[in-house]
Structure 1
Amino acid sequence: MIANNQCGIFSSSSVELTKDDILSAMKSISGYIDITPSDFQEIYKIAFRHAIERLSRLVKAEDIMTRDVVSVAQDTLLSETAAIMEAANVSGVPVVDGDNFIMGIISEKDFLEKMGGKKNGSFMGVIAECLSNRGCVAMPIREKSAKDVMTFPVITAQRSNTISELSKMLAEHQINRIPVVDGKGRLVGIVSRGDIVESYCAKVF
């Protein structure tokens, strides 16, 4: 499951009720309630957890995916690819062929690694490399295209995958987004960590 500090609703422990909250709630209910505040608190935690688990099974990729996906072709120059990503304010884009079949995916991490950021490259690592060499470390890849740096094969999802399954896939593969494909492997959408967080927030609130 995604870290609960992004939305504050992913586990019962992230929504703590005080005894005053419980007593106020119990007093607002007309009639007699034969239950202690501690019992009520425990029931609430269990019910909340079940509700979150139920929602995670009901919501599918097709319900939350971005359908108008920003993508690039395999022969798109990296300079153009970077400009497209910057204009769309995204950190990764799928690479597709002329029939919209997904061939790979390219992210900021791919750029960083090719620019000297090494395997676990970071932006500051590239800056350090650039400054130590007194030159632009992007020059060697300036004329390369998306196919030269993209990651493949690509981890993909189906429209029917639940957000619980999507969350697990993102966590297991340590990725921030997952393309959604149809039965033939053609790109139909993309789901990011942010999309999953927002779906939980929308359903609960």
Structure 2
Amino acid sequence: MTPKLKEDAQRLVIYIGESDRWRGKPLYAAILETLKAEGLAGATVIRGVAGFGAHSHIHTAAILRLSEDLPLIIHVIDTPEKIEHALELVRPMVREGLITLEDVRVVRYTHRYLNPLPADRLVEEVMTREVETLSPEMTVAAAWQKMLETLIKAMPVVDNSGQVLGMVTDEDLLERAGLQQRLSVAERLDKPLLDEEIARLRQSPLRVADVMSKPPITAQAREPLGLAAMRMAKHGIKRLPVLNDQGQLMGVLSRVDILRLLSEKPAMKMTAPLGATQTVRDVMTPVIPAVQQDDELPEIVEKLLESGTHRVIVLDGFGKAIGLISDSDVVARIQPSQRRGVIAALFGDALAPSSSVTAAELMSPGVLTARPETSLVQAARMMMNPKRKWLVVVDEQDKPLGLVDRHILLRALTAG
């Protein structure tokens, strides 16, 4: 299995001669075969042009002396545990030469199977060109109205010259304008409740410029997709306004745009070596926000607030994932007379109303699941087809082991 190198590693350096042998074959070849068989991350043989060693004989690659015993250097980098094992194997093989060992810091260790993202594509080839925008003078009520009409939860704020000043999301309106629910919840509310929210926001003197996130984190239209994706993963954001050379808005690059591109990428013709690809086991979080199928409304709301994820998995009596509940599911499926109380509870302003409705009654049945050995590319395809935000990693008994969401997936793909 190909190891996943951590930052702290060691470098084993072996100095030998080209004419050195081990059991009838060149020593360097025998060392490489031994290291490969033991699953080391990799090794490189470097051929010197000249040198001298224990016998003080100068060996050179001059044109008339190509048959001389030229110096070879073998570099091996891996975890301290692997290097210690490699040293035990190699030490008896080097009967004349030098072996050194030193600590190193691994900045990046990767290969084609760990980099399925087409990082060399230009951002402008992948971005969404049709963009809904807000003006800085717009009221927060008008901004919220536009989000409700378009069902777009994040919009760039653009001035008259097309310059991007910031971004406004429904989360910004929640935190800074006093909005009472996220867009995904609001789109499932009745019109009277929505009209009340709009009327209340109209009393606010706040403008978009007052609540927007600034300065905006952006991407250039002609920069490599890999750089933009790394920026998105680093800052934990879902969308980047894309600018032209004059700094004007050209489009928006979303996390979904990137994952969709990956999910549509043709499969590699070569079969990856066992363990060479990253799997969901490598990147999943073991923290799974979950409730039992018989849990009632107060327990469900408490878990939603505790997890901060806006959704929880529902488990049956055997510990298997059977459904999912989002905060919007709770609002939409609870009795209309209890909706105000539930919205206040989800906002953290009140306790959830007493109700005997259970998780089994509120959940959306079925959960997207995958085995631990599922590759990240396969996971992206699975999550893009039904536009699922969560992938639950399960064992042979279909019991949850971990969770992969879109942020985890993008972060793993950009880290390589």
- Higher Cα radius of gyration: 2
Write out per-residue CA displacement over residues 156-194 of structure 1, whole angstroms, 9 at most, x where no aligned residue. Answer: 101123332222111111211000001121101101111
Structure 2 CA distance, aligned partners of 1:114 and 1:73? 17
1:169 is matched with which residue? 231
Counterpart selection for 2:257 from 187, 195, 200: 195
1:102 is aligned to 2:164? yes
Aligned residue type for 2:254: S
Provide closer, same or farther for how the CA distance between residues 187 and 122 of structure 1 changes in structure 2, counting only shifts above 3 A: same
Write out per-residue CA displacement over residues 46-76 of structure 1, whole angstroms, 9 at most, x where no aligned residue. Answer: xxx6167365223221011111210011111
2:130 is matched with which residue? 68
Structure with a larger share of its residues in strand: 2
Structure 2 CA distance, aligned partners of 1:87 and 1:111? 16
Alpha-carbon deviation of 1:109? 1.3
Provide closer, same or farther for how the CA distance between residues 200 and 65 of structure 1 changes in structure 2, counting only shifts above 3 A: same
Structure 1 CA distance, aligned partners of 2:113 and 2:203? 49
1:180 is matched with which residue? 242
Relative to structure 2, which stretch is displaced further, 70-79 or 155-164?
155-164
Provide closer, same or farther for how the CA distance between residues 77 and 116 of structure 1 changes in structure 2, counting only shifts above 3 A: closer
Where 1:178 maps in the other structure, the secondary structure is strand
- The alignment's TM-score, normalised by the length of structure 2, stands at 0.32
Where 1:188 maps in the other structure, the secondary structure is strand
Where 2:172 maps in the other structure, the secondary structure is helix
Which runs of structure 2 are paired with 1:46-195 in the superposition (5 Å)?
50=112, 53=115, 55-115=117-177, 123=182, 139=201, 142-195=204-257
Structure 2 CA distance, aligned partners of 1:114 and 1:80? 15
Structure 1 CA distance, aligned partners of 2:114 and 2:144? 38
2:367 is matched with which residue? none
Where 1:148 maps in the other structure, the secondary structure is helix
Provide closer, same or farther for how the CA distance between residues 58 and 180 of structure 1 changes in structure 2, counting only shifts above 3 A: same
Structure 2 CA distance, aligned partners of 1:136 and 1:199? 37
Where 1:57 maps in the other structure, the secondary structure is coil
Where 1:180 maps in the other structure, the secondary structure is strand
Structure 2 CA distance, aligned partners of 1:204 and 1:143? 52
Provide closer, same or farther for how the CA distance between residues 141 and 110 of structure 1 changes in structure 2, counting only shifts above 3 A: farther
Structure 2 CA distance, aligned partners of 1:94 and 1:111? 14
1:3 is matched with which residue? none
Equivalenced residue count is: 147
Where 1:185 maps in the other structure, the secondary structure is coil
Where 1:204 maps in the other structure, the secondary structure is coil
Aligned residue type for 2:123: A
| Kept after mapping to 1: 8 A contact 2:140/2:201 | no
For the aligned residue pairs, the C-alpha RMSD in angstroms reads 3.1
| Kept after mapping to 2: 8 A contact 1:56/1:162 | no
| Kept after mapping to 2: 8 A contact 1:114/1:141 | no
| Kept after mapping to 2: 8 A contact 1:65/1:190 | yes
Unmatched 5+ stretches in structure 2 = 1-110, 183-195, 268-416
- The alignment's TM-score, normalised by the length of structure 1, stands at 0.61
Structure 2 CA distance, aligned partners of 1:52 and 1:141? 52
Where 1:56 maps in the other structure, the secondary structure is coil
Structure with a larger share of its residues in helix: 1
What percentage of aligned pairs have identical amino acids?
Answer: 27
Structure 1 CA distance, aligned partners of 2:266 and 2:209? 41
| Kept after mapping to 2: 8 A contact 1:91/1:108 | yes
Provide closer, same or farther for how the CA distance between residues 161 and 174 of structure 1 changes in structure 2, counting only shifts above 3 A: same
Provide closer, same or farther for how the CA distance between residues 93 and 203 of structure 1 changes in structure 2, counting only shifts above 3 A: same
